[in-house]
């Protein structure tokens, strides 16, 4: 006979243990879009203690909708190489272009990164950073519902050696750093430059080039990197997002060791 109280105990106990275990991390990632998930995969695969937080119920960020809600995404040769490393199949379309069902892409990225050891927490909003001695060194988190309902509830805090802002276009973590601490970023203007219009080639290149440590302890990836450094947008070609996540992970791994 199933006991309802045992079911509740199982959920509460396992969740609390899971949460307690991520209060001190090598890397804390905000945002479970393609760049955050791929970064999480490589960091976990390298044995780093890493957890990812996303404010939404379903994770995957902007992958699900493909282009204009046609649920297919496109990757180029370089992006396909990342998919190959993760064991995610894509179909050739024409020379240098591959397609992948966007639902398959989102589900596979989540599955593969979790199997590699990434801990993912949905429904948690990253509302601020921990800042000590001129360095970003953790996240301030709260339930998304607290933010949505505007309740006056204090957040909790976790420490990490590095933070990755993978929150997409709003670059929410970097925004919080600039808004609250008034710091100068490592961008040409010293501030958040804002995303530029469409150029798929430049956009893909910029996404990877702009993936870097924008402030001590804080890396940016994906569309957040483009928003922070003023890169071009690129449409529903996702290779740059995957490559950006991979680069962020490798740069952070280099710094950790």
Footprint of ligand FAD on this chain (CB under 6 A)? 30-36, 53-56, 61-63, 125-126, 166-170, 172, 222-224, 233-236, 241
Nearest residue (CB) to ligand FAD, 66 versus 217: 66
Nearest residue (CB) to ligand FAD, 108 versus 167: 167
Q: How far is the CB of 55 from ligand FAD (least distance, A)?
A: 4
Cβ partners under 8 Å of residue 201, min gap 6 = 234
- Report which of 164, 185, 183 is spatially closest to residue 29, judged by C-alpha positions: 164
Nearest residue (CB) to ligand FAD, 10 versus 50: 50
Element (H, E) at 241: helix 239-256
Nearest residue (CB) to ligand FAD, 10 versus 72: 72
Q: How far is the CB of 189 from ligand FAD (least distance, A)?
A: 21
Cβ partners under 8 Å of residue 232, min gap 6 = 195, 196, 197, 198, 199, 202, 203, 206, 226
Nearest residue (CB) to ligand FAD, 5 versus 171: 171
Report the C-alpha gap between 224 and 201 in whole angstroms.
Answer: 18
Cα 234 to Cα 10, 77, 95, 206, 239, distances in angstroms: 45, 16, 19, 10, 10
Q: How far is the CB of 24 from ligand FAD (least distance, A)?
A: 19
Cβ partners under 8 Å of residue 20, min gap 6 = none
Q: How far is the CB of 2 from ligand FAD (least distance, A)?
A: 34
């Amino acid at each position: 006979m199933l006991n309802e109280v045992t079911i509740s105990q199982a959920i509460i106990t396992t969740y609390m243990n899971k949460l307690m275990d991520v209060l001190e991390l090598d890397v804390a990632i905000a945002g479970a879009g393609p760049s955050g998930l791929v970064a999480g995969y490589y960091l976990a695969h390298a044995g780093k203690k890493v957890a990812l937080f996303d404010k939404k119920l379903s994770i995957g960020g902007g992958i699900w909708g493909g282009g204009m809600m046609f649920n297919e995404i496109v990757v180029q040769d370089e992006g396909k190489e990342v998919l190959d490393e993760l064991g995610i199949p894509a179909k050739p379309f024409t020379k240098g272009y591959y397609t992948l069902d966007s639902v398959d892409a989102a589900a596979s990225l989540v599955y593969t990164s979790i199997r590699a050891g990434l801990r993912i927490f949905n429904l948690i909003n990253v509302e601020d950073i921990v800042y000590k001695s001129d360095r970003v060194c953790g996240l301030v988190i709260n339930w998304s519902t607290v933010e949505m309902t505007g309740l006056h509830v204090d957040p909790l805090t976790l420490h990490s050696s590095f933070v990755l802002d993978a929150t997409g276009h709003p670059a929410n973590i970097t925004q919080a750093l600039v808004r609250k601490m008034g710091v100068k970023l490592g961008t040409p203007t010293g501030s958040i430059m804002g995303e530029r219009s469409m150029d798929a080639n430049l956009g893909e290149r910029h996404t990877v080039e702009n993936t870097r440590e924008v402030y001590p302890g804080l890396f940016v990836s994906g569309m957040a990197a483009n928003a922070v450094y003023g890169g071009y947008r690129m449409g529903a070609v996702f290779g740059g997002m995957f490559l950006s996540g991979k680069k962020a992970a490798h740069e952070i791994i280099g710094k950790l060791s």
